[in-house]
């Protein structure tokens, strides 16, 4: 295939976008369309877990792959024309704690590396390489550096539910 140029891998394009965001924190990215193409979308599909629960549309990853090229061409066309609208995040409710009848909503949105540059180092939620465990470890280290202190966690959501 002499003379044909191989597309950049997804990770290379993501790194370029992340580097632009890092170099120009005041810059607003209004469009990333020029980075989108079929090879990138195919690679993104292959990197996506297809054995997970279906999203709000009920379509599984395997179903989407049955007509992968057609689905990706449709997606690319909608993205480039401005008619694509991301579906709502699927919301599930998980128990608030052991033995608790209360639940909390959980939804995990998609994440692009361009926004990673805007997070503070103390941010942990839904970031690559970070978890609740690393957040607790960081908090523990900070408390130990202070020689100990009080940590108070309060859920005030239902504080005003009952009149005194």
pLDDT at 33 > cutoff 70 = yes
pTM over 0.85: no
pLDDT of 2:
46
Please count the other Cβ atoms lying within 10 Å of the Cβ belonging to residue 68.
Answer: 14
Q: Domain limits of the chain?
A: 1-87, 119-157
CB 44 within 8 A of CB 141: no
pLDDT of 132:
84
CB 96 within 8 A of CB 104: yes
Mind listing the pLDDT tens digit for each residue in 54-81?
Answer: 666 777 788 888 999 999 999 899 888 8
């Amino acid at each position: 295939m002499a003379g044909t140029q191989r597309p950049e891998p997804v990770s290379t394009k993501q790194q370029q976008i992340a580097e632009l965001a890092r170099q120009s924190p005041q810059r607003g990215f209004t469009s990333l369309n020029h980075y989108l193409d079929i090879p990138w979308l195919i690679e993104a599909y292959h990197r996506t877990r297809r054995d997970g629960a279906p999203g709000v549309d009920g379509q599984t990853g395997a179903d989407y792959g049955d007509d992968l090229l057609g689905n990706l061409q449709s997606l690319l066309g909608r993205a480039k024309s401005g008619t694509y609208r991301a579906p709502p995040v699927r919301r599930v409710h998980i128990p608030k704690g052991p033995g608790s009848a209360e639940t909390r909503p959980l939804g995990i949105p998609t994440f692009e590396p361009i926004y990673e540059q805007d997070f503070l180092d103390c941010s942990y939620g839904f970031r690559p390489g970070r978890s609740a465990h690393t957040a607790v470890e960081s908090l523990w280290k900070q408390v130990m550096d202070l020689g100990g202190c009080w940590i108070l966690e309060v859920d005030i959501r239902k504080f005003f539910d009952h009149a005194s």
